[in-house]
Amino acid sequence: MTPRPTEEGWQRNVWALSLCVFIAFVGFQFFNPFLPLYVRELGVTDPARIALWSGLLAAVTPGVSGLLAPLFGRLADRFGRKLMLIRSLAGFTVIIAGMGLVTSVEQLLVGRILQGLFAGFSPMTMAAASVSAPRDKVSIAIGRVQSAQLISVAVGPALGGFVASHFGTRVAFFVTAAMCAISLLALIFLFHEKRTAESPEAHAVSRAAPFMEFLRYRHFIPVMGVLIVAQFIDRGLTLTIPLHVAHLPGREATPATAGIIVSVAAVGAAISSSTVARLVAVVPIGRLLLVQFLLGGVLCGALAFAHSAVALLVLRTLVALCLGGAVTLAYSLGGMIVPAETRAAAFGWLAMGVQIGTASSPLLSGALAAVSLADAYLVDAALAMIGALVLVFGARDLLRRRDIRPG
Q: Are 148 and 93 in contact (CB under 8 A)?
A: no
Which among 53, 56, 62, 51 is positioned nearest to 370, based on CA atoms?
A: 51
Q: Are 20 and 183 in contact (CB under 8 A)?
A: yes
> Has residue 254 been placed in a domain?
yes
Range of the domain at 146: 7-399
> Has residue 404 been placed in a domain?
no
> Has residue 406 been placed in a domain?
no
> Has residue 1 been placed in a domain?
no
Amino acid at 185: L
- The conformational region for residue 308 under phi > 0 = left, psi -120 to 50 = alpha, else beta, is beta
The string of DSSP letters for 110-150 reads: HHHHHHHHT--HHHHHHHHHHHHS-GGGHHHHHHHHHHHHH
Which among 119, 169, 156 is positioned nearest to 28, based on CA atoms?
A: 156
Q: Are 326 and 206 in contact (CB under 8 A)?
A: no
> Has residue 2 been placed in a domain?
no
* CATH number, domain with residue 72: 1.20.1250.20
Torsion, Cα 195 197 199 201, to 10 degrees, reads 30
Give the C-alpha separation, 258 to 256, whole Å.
5
Give the C-alpha separation, 329 to 227, whole Å.
9
Give the C-alpha separation, 157 to 319, whole Å.
20
Q: Are 205 and 340 in contact (CB under 8 A)?
A: no
Residues of the chain with pLDDT under 70: 1-8, 48, 51, 195-215, 253-256, 339-345, 348, 401-407
Give the C-alpha separation, 90 to 83, whole Å.
10
First to last CA, the chain: 16
In this structure, the number of other CB atoms found within 10 A of the CB of residue 297 comes to: 25
> Has residue 183 been placed in a domain?
yes
Which among 84, 87, 110 is positioned nearest to 98, based on CA atoms?
A: 110
Residue 394: Cβ-neighbour burial (10 angstroms; 0-12, 13-18, 19+): middle
DSSP secondary structure letter of residue 252? G
Rg (CA), the chain: 20
Give the C-alpha separation, 340 to 132, whole Å.
9
Domain count, the chain: 1
Cα angle: 279, vertex 311, 243; to 5 degrees: 100
pLDDT score for 254: 67
> Has residue 35 been placed in a domain?
yes
pLDDT score for 208: 45
In this structure, the number of other CB atoms found within 10 A of the CB of residue 248 comes to: 18
Residue 386: Cβ-neighbour burial (10 angstroms; 0-12, 13-18, 19+): middle
> Has residue 205 been placed in a domain?
yes
Residue 310: Cβ-neighbour burial (10 angstroms; 0-12, 13-18, 19+): exposed
Give the C-alpha separation, 31 to 38, whole Å.
9
3-class SS of residue 45: coil
What predicted TM-score, i.e. pTM, was given to this entire model? Answer: 0.74
Give the C-alpha separation, 170 to 163, whole Å.
10
Cα angle: 87, vertex 329, 339; to 5 degrees: 60
